[in-house]
Amino acid sequence: GEIDILKQWIQDTKTIYMLKKNVMKKDCLAKYSGYSCGLIVDLLNGENDVESICEKARISRYEVYRIISLLLSDGFIQETTPDNLLATGDDYLNQKEGSKALRMFERYMESGGDRSAVLKKIAYAKEIMGEKQLSALDYGEYADYCYQQGNHDEAFNSFEKAIEFWPENADLHIPY
């Protein structure tokens, strides 16, 4: 039946989708109005797979598949990949939305992304959130990484930031 046609668009219920970078919720609702579409767009945040969207939306599986298929076919959403999680996290950092950025960087690492690529970004996200001590630990970890890579200037700058945020933590003092 119709759900089999929709499954051609959504072949794996563990797939996670998110809005494309320049797409806003209002763009989707302008084309597909209704409570169900708005709810599903809210759940297409780079965190929920199709199966969990079906559970959380509390509407028929057919309706969830139909809306996601329409959004896919019109190019409003994309499958979540490490690269677009990283780009979305960067966008959130630029908007000073630390907690949203942090979630994207965590998802990036869960999806196989390289932790060293986001260490400084994670520290900055926590800094934005006002989590100075947690940020200090991440800046310290990033500094260790930079030092091991031979980037001593960046290591020094990151250690300085870590010490600024948590001066009483003896573990953060420069070991070299």
Give the whole-angstrom CA distance, residue 94 versus residue 141.
22
Half-sphere exposure of 14 (CA within 13 A, CB side): 1
Cβ–Cβ < 8 Å for 143, 137: no
- Chain segment 18-28, per-residue pLDDT in tens: 988 778 888 88
d(CA 80, CA 98): 20
For position 32, what pLDDT does the model report? Answer: 80
Chain segment 69-114, per-residue pLDDT in tens: 999 989 999 988 888 889 889 999 999 999 999 999 998 998 888 9
Residue 18 in contact with residue 78, Cβ under 8 Å?
Answer: yes
pLDDT at residue 173 in the model: 56
Any idea what DSSP says for residue 68? H
Place of tokens 């959380």: 56
Interaxial angle between packed helices 35-43 and 61-73, expressed in degrees from 0 to 180 and rounded to the nearest 10: 70
* Beta-bridge mates of residue 49: 16
Which residues are bridge partners to 19 per DSSP?
77
Total residue length of the chain: 176
pLDDT in tens, 14-72: 888 998 877 888 888 888 877 788 899 999 988 899 999 999 998 988 899 889 999 99
User: Residue 26: what pLDDT?
Assistant: 85
Buried b (16+ CB within 10 A) or exposed e, 5-16: ebeeebeeeeeb
